[in-house]
Amino acid sequence: MTTPLITDSHCHLDFPDFDGERPEVIARALEAGVHRMVTICTRLRNEPQVRAIAEAHAPVFYAAGTHPMSAAEEPLARVDALVALAEHPKFVGIGETGLDYHYTAESAEVQKQSLRIHIEAAQETGLPLIIHARAADDDMAQILGDAWKARPYTCVMHCFSSSAELAAAALDCGFYLSMSGIAAFPKSQELRDIFAAAPLDRILLETDSPYLAPPPFRGRRNEPGYTAHTAAVGAETFGLSLEDFAAATEANFDRLFAKAAAWTPA
């Protein structure tokens, strides 16, 4: 499958699923037209390994934060530490952070505390906040919205699969919705309808690999090159050619992840 240039705005290349194969996975992504990848660190103690992947591969950028499902197990992030990480030329986002009450509702209070720390770091650095939201729509909308009203910041709702109400709340703040392989699943028509109702200039693409492989790879390990398959479904959802949809999502990524867009190899 050939595709115009697109970006996988959220993957996890440091995960053991890719051990011994990272250069090949990145090479396959490039062959599929996925010319940039943002690999996401979910536990700050792993930041050095994630940074090393970005440093070793020109197409790879990175972000770091404490995943909400890990918030109770990890030391609380510090705003100053996140701001210091942002000095790295390939560090392009804060997170992923957020709220997950599906698996880890018992840690809701520490998740909220962690989320607010990451929001402050995004406000300080001007880098986009990367949000994981699951089964926490009301709290998510309120915390993000209140913070945005107090001091605007940019944000992407990564792997968006929540309600139309949370989508509307995010879009009202100027945030972005990221389309993952979930949007390509046959049973995801309701989710595709939410995306189709959103402004085209607020849509990003991602894999969240190694998870959530789109058809025809569903049930197997996902990888950044498969972004191309989600892009094809996204183009259909918006009634556009693949070329036009890809160009739109590239412009969106460049606008939101301006640091990645401006980066040039030393």
Break the chain into its structural domains and give their ranges.
6-261
**What integer pLDDT is reported at residue 33 of this predicted model?**
97
**What integer pLDDT is reported at residue 1 of this predicted model?**
56
**What integer pLDDT is reported at residue 92 of this predicted model?**
98
CATH architecture of 6-261: Alpha-Beta Barrel (3.20)
Indicate the pTM of the whole model.
0.97
How close are the terminal C-alpha atoms of the chain, in Å?
32
Answer yes or no: are the C-beta atoms of 9 and 128 closer than 8 Å: no
Low-confidence ranges of the chain (pLDDT < 70): 1-2
At 48-98, the pLDDT tens digits run 999 999 999 999 999 999 999 999 999 999 999 999 999 999 999 999 999
Give the CA diameter of the chain.
46
**What integer pLDDT is reported at residue 58 of this predicted model?**
98
Helix (H, G, I), strand (E, B) or coil at 91: strand
**What integer pLDDT is reported at residue 2 of this predicted model?**
63
Q: 225-248 burial by CB neighbour count: b if 16+ within 10 A, else e? A: bbbbbbbbbbbebbeeebeebbeb
Q: What is the DSSP string of 28-54?
A: HHHHTTEEEEEEEESSGGGHHHHHHHH
User: H helices of 40-103, where?
Assistant: 47-56, 79-85
